[in-house]
């Protein structure tokens, strides 16, 4: 699946009561590129991801995929249209093995995706054939993300980082056009972290629009084609990574965040982002 124009987020605003967590933020994630969304902890990154994937309705703004306006679409409809996401904390798979979890995602996608065919019977036949092949799809994806050796273990019993890579394989099982990765390097050993960098570039080479969300700039410098920096809910810089890194506004944002220390309050955003420090600095003009 490929989107001609990719993901476009326009002027999104999210409020929690009197608090504005995201303030007119926008970004683009074109097909065939790795786009970064970075910013200090509490900047509103995960809240913006919630809007992109349909888990939160914005007060204003729009989310578009190719020529479709998905702003009012439910999360399930966005997933069907090709937006997939991983989370900071990978979802539990219970007693299922890593392979079973990915196979289930592939089977579910096989039964819900649109299939070609002249008649309803022909389309159903294709769906069941695709579901029958879900095991092979799972094996191929586990090999691609580098965790095939853990296929028969539950994610909670596997080494650090396997749960997150299982989540990534499940997302890829939906054959997405846009892949949103929320802090994908969390908990990964060095070997897997380097392999993930290569994989993200390969996925972009396959035509996916990859959006990577991280707190710090350094981990994504060598991976992303374009960076967007979010600070206090606003995009303060966007462009080539080296230029963004050198932007004085970006340096100021991280300097202020490090001086303020860890966040002490928490917004009600799915996934736990949107945290705010006590004594926020004045909004940027």
Is 285 within a domain? no
Is 280 within a domain? no
Average pLDDT over residues 84-105: 83
- State the CATH number of the domain containing residue 69: 3.40.50.300
Judge whether residue 26 has pLDDT over 90. yes
- Specify whether 23 is located in the same domain as 73: yes
**pTM for the whole structure:** 0.84
Judge whether residue 122 has pLDDT over 70. no
The domain boundary, picked from 109, 125, 159, lies at 159
- Specify whether 144 is located in the same domain as 185: no
Alpha helices (H) in the chain, listed in sequence order: 45-53, 75-81, 98-112, 120-132, 134-145, 162-172, 190-205, 241-246, 248-260
- Specify whether 48 is located in the same domain as 188: yes
- Specify whether 193 is located in the same domain as 237: yes
Question: At 65, is the secondary structure helix, strand, or coil?
Answer: strand
- Specify whether 189 is located in the same domain as 251: yes
Per-chain mean pLDDT for the chain: 84
Is 2 within a domain? no
Judge whether residue 3 has pLDDT over 80. no
- Specify whether 187 is located in the same domain as 256: yes
pLDDT at 285: 30
pLDDT at 95: 79
- Specify whether 184 is located in the same domain as 256: yes
**Beta-carbon contacts of residue 194 (< 8 Å; ≥ 6 apart):** none
Judge whether residue 40 has pLDDT over 70. yes
- Specify whether 241 is located in the same domain as 113: no
Considering its fold, how many domains does the chain have in total?
2
- Specify whether 149 is located in the same domain as 211: no
Is 233 within a domain? yes
Is 169 within a domain? no
pLDDT above 90 covers a percentage of the chain that reads: 62
Is 272 within a domain? no
Which residue range(s) make up the domain with 235? 7-82+176-260
Is 124 within a domain? yes
Is 150 within a domain? yes
């Amino acid at each position: 699946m490929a989107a001609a124009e990719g993901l476009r987020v326009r002027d999104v605003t999210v409020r929690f009561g009197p608090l504005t967590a995201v303030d007119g933020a926008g970004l683009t994630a074109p097909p065939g590129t790795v786009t970064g969304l970075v910013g200090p902890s509490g900047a509103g990154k995960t809240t913006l991801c919630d809007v992109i994937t349909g888990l939160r309705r914005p007060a204003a703004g729009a989310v578009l995929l190719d020529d479709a306006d998905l702003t009012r679409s439910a999360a399930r409809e966005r997933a069907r249209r090709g937006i997939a996401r991983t989370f900071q904390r990978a979802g539990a798979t219970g007693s299922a093995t890593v392979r079973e979890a990915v196979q289930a995602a592939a089977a579910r996608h096989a039964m819900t995706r649109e299939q070609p065919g002249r008649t309803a019977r022909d389309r159903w036949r294709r769906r069941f054939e695709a579901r029958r092949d879900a095991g092979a799809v799972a094996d191929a994806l586990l090999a691609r993300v580098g965790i095939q050796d853990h296929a028969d273990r539950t994610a909670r019993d596997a080494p650090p980082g396997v749960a997150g890579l299982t989540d990534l394989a499940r997302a890829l099982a939906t054959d997405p056009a846009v892949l949103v990765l929320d802090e994908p390097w969390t908990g990964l050993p060095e070997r897997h972290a380097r392999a993930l960098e290569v994989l993200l570039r390969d996925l972009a080479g396959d035509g996916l629009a990859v959006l990577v969300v991280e707190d710090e700039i350094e981990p994504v410098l060598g991976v992303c084609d374009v960076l967007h920096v979010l600070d206090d809910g606003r995009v303060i810089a966007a462009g080539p990574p080296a230029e963004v890194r050198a932007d004085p506004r970006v340096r100021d944002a991280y300097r202020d965040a490090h001086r303020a220390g860890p966040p002490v309050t928490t917004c009600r955003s799915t996934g736990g982002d949107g945290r705010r420090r006590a004594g926020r600095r004045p909004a940027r003009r």
